Amino acid sequence: MAATPPEADLVEAIERLGDKLGQAKASINRRFIGQEKVVDLVLASMLCGGHALLVGLPGLGKTRLVDTLGTVMGLSANRIQFTPDLMPADILGSEVLETGEGGARAFRFIEGPIFCQLLMADEINRASPRTQSALLQAMQEKEVTIAGQHRKLGKPFHVLATQNPIEQEGTYPLPEAQLDRFLVQVDVEYPTRATERDILIATTGAEDAQSTQVFTAEELIAAQSVIRRMPVGEAVVEAILDLVRACRPGEAEGRALEGSLSWGPGPRAAQALMLTVRARALLDGRLAPSVSDVAAMARAVLTHRMALSFAARARGETLSGIIDQVTTRTLRLEAAA
């Protein structure tokens, strides 16, 4: 069954938003050269109201990208450099005892850097698991509980975290519960030769290129509402369900992976695909997503929600390879049906 045609006002909103996103991407590309796929994935996560985990070696521009996004999207941004001695209070804030006029004493809460609209968690896996877990409630509920009081965070609220590969010395793997809070994982790889040449020329001159604001916080919230109104066809819904269930070793559809995976993605993965395929279609100038969008978003949505078994690691298998195989097999069956 095809997707229900969008209403005229929705079509107009999608077209306006598409034009504005084109301006945003052009502004981002002034400072973050090349890597269009990385930019699209991070923008997709923000359009869906989610958080993104950027994984890559140091020096590939992850911090620069997040800093640029804060400017372009018009969000109040804070940055936290995660280190082994960082404490939860350094992120959330704390209460201090103050003496007022007349000698009266009272506690005053001093907000931590998490009270913003765009939080950059730089090298998040350098901090201890205790500190990493301080982000859990904030990422899911958009609020924190401190001294028994619930405190709302900025609206919208996005966490864009950068992570060094686990193989590097001095890193702590993120807990599974926190990984699942990230809508997408974005792998930042080495640039091509042509892109690296452009980077050399653009960043070693007398002046550094500057990005300009394109969105406001209110416009981003409105864009997130448009994304959720975009129609999704029945074929796309079935493709999402088939793909996610085929990646679960405990399900009948994923029985072939029982020797390769310790666990597979949960329902949140299907929800993430349902949202991100819409965002990808919008970024591509289309009114509704297709099955090809499901295939394109599979790695970004599923990789951090699955774990290889010890035997699979010994055989040299990779999560990206398994996801590609399952995606190809599943979507081929979808096409045949």
Tell me the pTM.
0.88
Least confident span in 30-39, 45-54, 210-219, 252-261: 252-261
Residue type for position 67 = D
**Angle, in degrees to the nearest 10, between helices 8-29 and 36-47:** 140
Region 290-306: mean pLDDT is 94
Output the pLDDT for position 233.
Answer: 92
* Confidence band, pLDDT 50/70/90 cuts, at residue 101: confident
**Angle, CA of 203, 209 and 210, to the nearest 5°:** 140
Contacts of 30 (CB under 8 A, 6+ apart): 209, 210, 211
| pLDDT tens digit sequence for 199-226 | 888 888 777 778 899 999 999 999 999 9
- The DSSP bridge partners found for residue 105 are 99
- Whole-number Å distance between alpha carbons of 14 and 223: 9
Q: Going along 200-270, which residue ranges are E strands? A: 261-263
User: C-alpha dihedral over 143, 146, 149, 152, to 10 degrees?
Assistant: -20
Structure tokens at 254: 């994923």
- Whole-number Å distance between alpha carbons of 61 and 35: 10
- Whole-number Å distance between alpha carbons of 118 and 78: 7
High-pLDDT (> 90) share of the chain, %: 42
The answer on pLDDT for 240 being more than 80 is yes
The answer on pLDDT for 195 being more than 70 is yes
DSSP state of 61: S
**Closest by Cα among 50, 268, 56 to 159:** 50
| Rg of the chain (C-alpha set) | 21
- For residue 78, give the H/E element and its range: strand 77-81
Domains defined for the chain, CATH in brackets: 1-85+114-229 (3.40.50.300), 230-337 (1.10.8.80)
Local structure of 109: helix, strand or coil: strand
| pLDDT tens digit sequence for 22-42 | 999 999 988 888 888 999 999
Region 229-250: mean pLDDT is 92
**Angle, in degrees to the nearest 10, between helices 319-336 and 234-246:** 140
| pLDDT tens digit sequence for 121-159 | 988 888 888 888 888 778 888 888 887 788 888 899 999
Residue type for position 183 = L
Count helices and strands in the chain by DSSP H and E runs: 14, 11
179 within 8 A of 137, measured Cβ to Cβ: no
DSSP state of 200: H
**Angle, CA of 111, 54 and 113, to the nearest 5°:** 5
Output the pLDDT for position 3.
Answer: 56
* Confidence band, pLDDT 50/70/90 cuts, at residue 334: low
